[in-house]
Structures are given as C-alpha cells and as structure tokens.
Amino acid sequence: MNPGSFRLGLALEGTGWHPASWLLSSVTDAEEVFKGGYWTDWGRAAASGGVDFVTLEDGLSLQTDRFGTADQAHDRVRGRLDPIVTAAVLLATTDISEVVVSRNVTHSNPFHVAVQMASLAAIGPGRVTWRPQVSADARDATVVGGPATPQLRPEDVYVPTRIARRLRDLFRDAEDYVRTVRELWKTFPAESLSSGDTFLHRDMVAPLRLTGRERYPAAGPLTVPVPSTPKVAVLAHHALEPYRLAAAVADRVFVTPSQEHPIPALLTAFREIEQLTPDAAGTEVYADVAVVLGDTAEHAEARLARLNETAGFVWAPDTQVFVGTADRLARELTRWREQFGLSGVRLRPAVLSDDGARIVQELVR
C-alpha cells in the first residue's frame, strides 16, 4: 500500500495476540520471548519494513484465556517484560520511528511514570508516546497491593459500555493522572541544562504550584530533564468514559471497530464527545485491528480455524478481526483513509512470526 500520511503500527505482544499463538509460532524456546534480542529483531524488522511505530503492552496480572479469571494453562504465553525497559532497548538498538509504551495508571504513581517516560524521551527524543492504561482487571489490585477496584465479570468485556460505567471513577482518575504527568514534565525543561562550569540554570527547575489537586498532589520537580514532551495515546472502546478520557488528554486515540460499531459510527460518536469535552484539542483517530493473514482468503480462514481449534474456543478479542490477504488488507486500509479520514491503524498480529512477518514483508511496500 502507499500510505502517504496514513501511519501504520505493529502491536508487539509475546508470540502474538491469539491465545494459541505460542503453539503455532516459529518460536520454540519460551526464554526467547524474555530476551532483548527477540524484541530488537522485531523492532529492526518493523523499521526496515516501513512500519511507522510499534506498541508495547503493560500488565500487572498474568495473562489468562478468560478475562479476570486465573488459569493453570501451561501452553500459553504468560508474563511480559516491563514495557519501559523494552522500549529503552528498542530506542537504543533500532531505527524504529516511534515506540508507544503502555503504562498502568490505576496502580502506579504519576511522578514515577513521568520520570520513566521522560527518561525514554531523553534516550529517543521525538520517538516516544505514552499510552496510559486503566486497570480493568480487579486481580491487579491484589497482585500489587493497590486499592481495590471494581470486579468485572468475563462477559462484561463484550459490552464496552458496561465496563465503562463500572470503571467510571477509574477513567476520571486517569484523566487527572495524565494531566499531573504532563505538568510534571514542565518542571525540569531541557533548556535548563548548560555547559562549562554551569551544569544547569537552577531557576528553571522548580516544583509545581499545587492548586487543590487532592487525588494526585505530586509537585516535583522531576529528576530528569525533558528534551521532548512525549505524546499521549489512549485505547478507547466504544463508550462515553474512555472516549472522554481520550478527548480530554490524548493526542491520539485507538478506536476498536466491530460489526456492531463500524468505523463511521465510532468516528461520529467520538467527535461528538470531543466537541463536548472542555479543552479538547483535535485528537487523531487510529483504528485498532487484529489480523490473520494468508496467501489467499481461504488460507487465512484455515489458519484462523486451526488457531481456534488449537485454543479450544473461538477467538473474540475486543476489536475487529481482519482475515484475508495482505493485498486485501492494504486496499481496506486505503479505503479507511480515503473515506473516513483516519490518521492510521495499529495492527495486532494473531501470530507474530506469521502475521507480523506478512505485515512487514507484504503490506508495507
């Protein structure tokens, strides 16, 4: 495809996003997924293949097949490297243009996240985006010893509005959290650094003047200068609360289209909420899509069928699953850009070694 200003991202996650990806991946050594070389190789492949950005996931609880319910599965990928550490590796060892880093905001401290993201921005100026992640899994609170959060049932994940209503307070907290981080980034500007006998202009490094922020009263200043302010991206399922969060604080929103909620409907709903949100400033809209690719449409369908059979259930993620060839996907993305004005797309490969490779080798030309 000829993307022009349309940006394409590759969502890196273990051996892929399908629960059975490990069993059908070319990766055979579990330790490989936790080595720097694995992630460096994918960062370099994405950069050389013309992918504009990669994304890294955060998670406080071990992954499960059934949302919010621990399992004893032994043939699934479980565990993740810390996304901040992985991002640092990618920024230092690859030419990828941008790394989007997820970081949980429900059970973390704004000051620490502000320092982490500022440190990444120092390593890769202009190449870092932060995706604040609201904790939807009540198990997370137990794992980290944080405050209790609402318990969602497995069936809730198929009803975004139900999730949003139950987590309304967490989304509101997330909005305040992001604002606090952005304010903290201003407390140690890169312009304060000097040379020679003077290391920095001390009068430019100062704490915030707190104005009644009871939830997140961090004042700073940060312990690291901020050479370029990271952008903020929000993954927003189709509901008021996540859309409001994105409109209020994000530079970019990833929407999750489905048969019930196609892209035009999502765009209309988001723009309406954006217009009603104070201080909203023109958020770029990207689509978030899972993909299963093949040599032909039939081959792709057969691959998905085998993945589902191996998993023992039908894969039903929180967004649309595209099944087909890379050429057809390219045509579909071109249509989305031209008809709906999307700024880009993030693709979640079902099996990284297969679908990720096809994205890099066949989709981006």
Average confidence score pLDDT of the chain: 92
pLDDT in tens, 89-138: 999 999 999 999 999 999 999 999 999 999 999 999 999 999 999 987 88
Provide the pLDDT confidence category of residue 157 given band limits of 50, 70 and 90: low
Segment 314-358, tens digit of pLDDT: 999 999 999 999 999 999 999 999 999 999 999 999 999 999 999
Helix, strand, coil tally for the chain in percent (to 5): 40, 15, 45
Contacts of 79 (CB under 8 A, 6+ apart): 34, 62, 63
Q: Give me the pLDDT at residue 37, please.
A: 97
CB atoms within 10 A of CB 327: 13
Overall average pLDDT of the 180-207 stretch: 93
pLDDT at 159 over 90: no
What confidence tens digit (pLDDT) does each residue in 192-205 have? Answer: 998 888 999 999 99
The model's pTM: 0.94
Nearest CA-CA partner of 15 in 244, 269, 360, 351:
351
